[in-house]
Amino acid sequence: MHIHILGICGTFMAGIAVLAKQLGHTVTGSDAATYPPMSTQLEELGVELFSGYSADNLKQRPDCVVIGNVLSRGNPEVEAVFNQGLPYISGAQWLAENVLAKRWVLAVSGTHGKTSSSSMLAWILEDSDLSPGFLIGGLPENFGVSARLGDSLFFVVEADEYDTAFFDKRSKFVHYRPRTLLLNNLEFDHADIFPDLAAIQRQFHYLVRTVPGNGLIVYKFGETAIDEVFKQGCWTPGETIGGDWTAKALCDDHSHFEVSYDNKVVGEVNWDLIGEYNVENALGAIACAHHAGVSINHACEALGKFRSVKRRLELRGVVKGIELYDDFAHHPTAIAGTIKALRQHKKNQRIIAVLEPRSNTMRMGIHKKALLSALKGADVVLLYQPADMNWSLFKISNLLKDSKLFNDVEDIIKHLVANTASGDQILIMSNGGFENIHNRLLTALAA
């Protein structure tokens, strides 16, 4: 079968392409622009890519068109699909029908930590010789790919609450029907599609409704937003992070911690990751793996070999004693947690936070008040003001103790070159490419 994917360079849709190729299909795809790392991964698999959307991309007349949620009516290729009467489907529904239908699905959901937790869970299963399939919204360094079919019953999926497609406004995760569900946390986000927290909670309750009675829901203890979801009805047993599953840090940066289950110490994790939020991610992954039959002690040992995920507090380089980190943080809670983790790890060394407020929610100004508090843990804050953002970062910059506001990425690079010294930690936070600032800055510092 020939499958054509619209929006193929997005992480999720690229994963769909990988799975379709592994199922033996011919796969082609279009995107507004084809770009690494996903374009490289797809080209190596023999996927033909079209840069830009056009009716001409459909000349081979595919048997099925998979349409990503970034596409909408009015797009020339979408209109051609409709006008030619081609069969079409959303990515989430294609995944559910062609991959997940006969698998033990372990779904990882929540506002923060989905990519890290699902990567940890997939690795624990892999290290336990269970050869899971997975589709993850990032690049787990233990695997080097974002998706694969796997050779067992188990399939780990990052369960995103974003909408499915322009013709299906339910959250993507409603399609997945997990047997094991991790609900890490729940906050207001994605203000471009959800009017308030209650609307997000409604979608999460749709997800809760799909988990069978002999399944398991692992969730964060004492989080009001999650408790309110369960008050709408729950038919599945649950275990809690912070209740049934707890951790005790054995060092300041949480890179070594003790794991307890049901008030009994059951293992230790000693790994390369840092931060309290990663400990919570780990507890969720251990609990889900335990439900799938993995011993707790083995899960802890497996995490000792876990190598994190690209763009999650990733050390991109060290130049003249200056360390440059890249992180995907774009919500105030994640921003604050990332800065705190680096502070615990580096103690008294100076942290220079560089933020591009790129997410739709941030651009709409929803998190103005929380953003100020989230950034206070850094010693220096450099804020980038995107040209198309409808509010100004000037007030936030003015209220921080040592902050500057920039309209040009090159100016940020010049400022950092002139005002950093050995021992400084530069933490760049964005959920986009940020005009390749990481490589450009490393080159400039070296020069």
pLDDT tens digit sequence for 391-424? 787 877 877 888 889 988 999 999 999 999 999 9
Confidence of residue 311 (pLDDT cuts 50, 70, 90): confident
The answer to whether 2-90 and 314-446 have equal CATH topology is: no
Confidence of residue 329 (pLDDT cuts 50, 70, 90): confident
Q: Domain 102-303, what fold?
A: UDP-N-acetylmuramoyl-L-alanine:D-glutamate ligase (3.40.1190)
Q: What is the mean pLDDT of residues 20-42?
A: 86
Confidence of residue 5 (pLDDT cuts 50, 70, 90): very high
Confidence of residue 191 (pLDDT cuts 50, 70, 90): low
Of residues 435 and 68, the one with the higher pLDDT is 68
| pLDDT at site 314 | 84
- Are the C-beta atoms of 58 and 77 separated by less than 8 Å? yes
5-19, 92-106, 346-360 — which is least confidently predicted? 346-360
- Percent of the chain at pLDDT > 90 equals 64
| pLDDT at site 119 | 95
Q: What is the mean pLDDT of residues 46-58?
A: 94
Residue 340 has pLDDT above 90, yes or no: no
| pLDDT at site 17 | 95
The alpha helices in 357-436, defined as continuous H runs, are 360-363, 368-375, 394-399, 409-419
For the four alpha carbons of 290, 288, 139 and 64, in that order, the dihedral sign comes to: positive
Crossing angle for the helix pair 437-446 and 409-419, nearest 10 degrees? 40
Confidence of residue 264 (pLDDT cuts 50, 70, 90): very high
**Which residues have a Cβ under 8 Å from the Cβ of 102 and sit 6 or more positions away?**
none
| pLDDT at site 372 | 81
- Are the C-beta atoms of 135 and 12 separated by less than 8 Å? yes
| pLDDT at site 393 | 77
Residue 362 has pLDDT above 80, yes or no: no
Of residues 378 and 62, the one with the higher pLDDT is 62
Question: Taking the C-alpha atoms of 113, 116, 121 and 127 in order, what is their torsion angle to the nearest 10 degrees?
Answer: -160
Residue 336 has pLDDT above 90, yes or no: no
Q: How many CB atoms lie within 10 A of CB 9?
A: 25
> What separation, in Å, do the N-terminal and C-terminal C-alpha atoms of the chain show?
52
| pLDDT at site 35 | 64
Residue 117 has pLDDT above 90, yes or no: yes
**Which residues have a Cβ under 8 Å from the Cβ of 390 and sit 6 or more positions away?**
363, 364, 365
Residues in the chain: 447
- CA 361, CA 397: separation in Å to the nearest integer? 19
Tell me which architecture the domain covering 2-90 has in CATH: 3-Layer(aba) Sandwich (3.40)
Q: What is the mean pLDDT of residues 312-320?
A: 85
Q: Which residue ranges make up each domain of the chain?
A: 2-90, 102-303, 314-446
In CATH, which superfamily holds the domain spanning 314-446? Answer: Mur ligase, C-terminal domain (3.90.190.20)
Q: What is the mean pLDDT of residues 251-271?
A: 94
Q: Global pTM?
A: 0.85
